[in-house]
Structure 1
Amino acid sequence: MKKLVLTLLLPVLLAGCATTKSPTGRSQVLLFDKTQMTEMGGQSFAAMKKEQKVSTDKQKIAYVSCIANRITAELPDQSLQWEVVVFDSEQVNAFALPGGHIGVYTGLLTVASDEDQLATVIGHEVAHVLARHGNEQVSRAQMTNTGMQLADVALGAGGVSNKDMYMAGLGLGAQVGILLPFGRDQESEADELGLELMAKAGFNPAKSVILWQNMAKAGGEQGPELFSTHPSHSSRISDLQALQTKVTPLYQAAKKQSPTQCKKG
């Protein structure tokens, strides 16, 4: 059992060597450098463009690009040239990847009914990149896999009976105790940072509440929040409402500069 305890502590010890802070001050474990994450993001995006249908609708592309460009213009690092691609799919989704890549599915345009609502989603996804959440995810996956492999060796060497049962228990513990709670933290952090980005870009942050109300209607019933990487719709809406006092002045200041309107067409 001593060997097992040491084995399970090893990922934690490794994590301590690479701990940093997110933009909101939350502790993060990042095992990969910026160059590695940029390469991963670029490779993943290239593969997606090959595997999925890319839209050729010029109006939709211009509309999505207009919103995305206004949001990325508010990022502290302006060295990236962001690539925006619209995927022709009924999926109600969008994503952003390290290295400057944004993907939006046409199905999202039916739920995000105006530029402010779409800016909520794009701002949220870009915030994931800003806060290095992708690095966190792959770092945790690396540490979890390492811990599971070493635990398997330790259990076998110690002659522990019912090893498969123990490994299944360890797997569930890692999933619920490490990956999922941090996933929810990341989602909440991206909501907050994304709201700030969209407000600074001149998009109405109050529309974020309407967007997630629309998402709730489109998504139907959800499972228990405890076993989801995303906050429940009600929790998310409540948090967004609480953030309005903080981000509304940013929006009002941006509106005075008369930002370009993004026409849906």
Structure 2
Amino acid sequence: MNKLVPLLFISLLMSACATHKSPTGRSQMLLFDKNKMSQMGEQSFVAMKKSEKISQDKQKTAYVNCVANRITAVLPDQTQQWEVVLFDSKQVNAFALPGGYIGVYTGLLEVAADQDQLATVVGHEVAHVLARHGNEQVSRSQMTNTGIQLADVALGAGGVANKDLYMAGLGLGAQVGILLPFGRDQESEADELGLELMAKAGFNPAMSVTLWQNMAKAGGEQGPELFSTHPSHSTRIADLQALQDKVSPLYLAAKKQSLPQCK
């Protein structure tokens, strides 16, 4: 088993590399540069446009673009061009990808009843990109796979009995102890940053609570929060309510500007 020590040391050393701070001050491990992440985002978006049906409803498309454009207009980097696509699907969902890509599904428009509620979701998804969560996710996944591979080699070299059982336990521990809680941290951070974005863009942040109440009604029963990458609806709503005092001044300041209404 003495061979296990240097391998674990190498794994720990690798995990200490490329450490950054997120916009809220949380430590992040980022192994990929911006250009690589933009390339991944572009490839994914091109593939989705080929596989998913794009909506031909000009009014709904213009509406979604209006909301998305107001959100991206308040981002720190104004050199980034954003492409927005409305997909014709009953999915109640949206996403944003590194490189400047936003996708919204028509099913979301049935739950997000107005521009403020839609801005809650778009702001949240764009916040994932702003906080480099995609980079963080693929970096953590790569490091987890590397660690498991190193442990597999070490256990085999040490002649450990029931190695498969140990490896199964290690994989489960990595999933529950690292990846899933990490995902919830990202979701909560995106909620906070997204709320700030929508407020700066002149959308009413108080409607974020209404949006997630609608989501709770549409989503039905959820599994235990421990095994979910998203906070429970009740946790998310409580957190958003607690942030209202922080973002209200941003909204009031934005309301003084002449902003287009999205309908």
TM range (shorter): over 0.9
What are the within-5 Å matches in structure 2 for residues 56-71 of structure 1? 56-71=56-71
Whether 1:198 aligns to 2:190 is no
SS at match of 2:118: helix
In structure 2, C-alpha distance between the alignment counterparts of 1:49 and 1:112, rounded to whole Å:
23
Q: Is 1:31–1:135's contact at 8 Å kept on the other side of the alignment?
A: yes
- Report the TM-score, using the length of structure 2 for normalisation: 0.98
In structure 2, C-alpha distance between the alignment counterparts of 1:106 and 1:163, rounded to whole Å:
48
What are the within-5 Å matches in structure 2 for residues 65-214 of structure 1? 65-214=65-214
- Report the TM-score, using the length of structure 1 for normalisation: 0.97
Shift of 1:128: 0.2
SS at match of 2:147: helix
Deviations 1:46-90 (A, max 9, x none): 011111111111011100000000000000001111000011100
Shift of 1:30: 0.2
**Percentage of identical aligned residues:** 82
Whether 1:20 aligns to 2:20 is yes
1:31 counterpart letter in structure 2:
L
Show structure 1 runs of 4+ deviating over 2 A. Answer: 1-12
Once the two structures are overlaid, the 10-residue window that deviates more, 135-144 or 6-15, is 6-15
Residues 168, 259 of structure 1: alpha-carbon distance in 2 compared, 3 angstrom cutoff: same
2:239 counterpart letter in structure 1:
D
Shift of 1:7: 3.2
In structure 2, C-alpha distance between the alignment counterparts of 1:210 and 1:5, rounded to whole Å:
52
Q: Is 1:10–1:147's contact at 8 Å kept on the other side of the alignment?
A: no
Whether 1:42 aligns to 2:42 is yes
SS at match of 1:107: helix
Residues 163, 54 of structure 1: alpha-carbon distance in 2 compared, 3 angstrom cutoff: same
Shift of 1:5: 4.6
In structure 2, C-alpha distance between the alignment counterparts of 1:136 and 1:179, rounded to whole Å:
11
Give the structure 1 partner of residue 231 of structure 2: 231
Q: Is 1:11–1:144's contact at 8 Å kept on the other side of the alignment?
A: no
1:160 counterpart letter in structure 2:
V
SS at match of 1:261: coil
Shift of 1:156: 1.2
Whether 1:3 aligns to 2:29 is no
Shift of 1:258: 2.8
In structure 1, C-alpha distance between the alignment counterparts of 2:7 and 2:152, rounded to whole Å:
9
Give the structure 1 partner of residue 31 of structure 2: 31
2:52 counterpart letter in structure 1:
Q
Deviations 1:8-32 (A, max 9, x none): 4433321212101000000000000
Residues 165, 183 of structure 1: alpha-carbon distance in 2 compared, 3 angstrom cutoff: same
Residues 231, 6 of structure 1: alpha-carbon distance in 2 compared, 3 angstrom cutoff: farther
How many equivalent residue pairs?
263
In structure 1, C-alpha distance between the alignment counterparts of 2:59 and 2:163, rounded to whole Å:
58
Q: Which runs of 5+ in 1 are unaligned?
A: none
Q: Is 2:184–2:228's contact at 8 Å kept on the other side of the alignment?
A: yes
Give the structure 2 partner of residue 217 of structure 1: 217
SS at match of 2:89: coil
RMSD: 1.0
1:149 counterpart letter in structure 2:
Q
What are the within-5 Å matches in structure 2 for residues 248-259 of structure 1? 248-259=248-259
Q: Which runs of 5+ in 2 are unaligned?
A: none
Deviations 1:177-223 (A, max 9, x none): 11111111100000000000000000000000000000000001111
SS at match of 1:103: strand
Residues 230, 5 of structure 1: alpha-carbon distance in 2 compared, 3 angstrom cutoff: farther
In structure 2, C-alpha distance between the alignment counterparts of 1:191 and 1:225, rounded to whole Å:
16
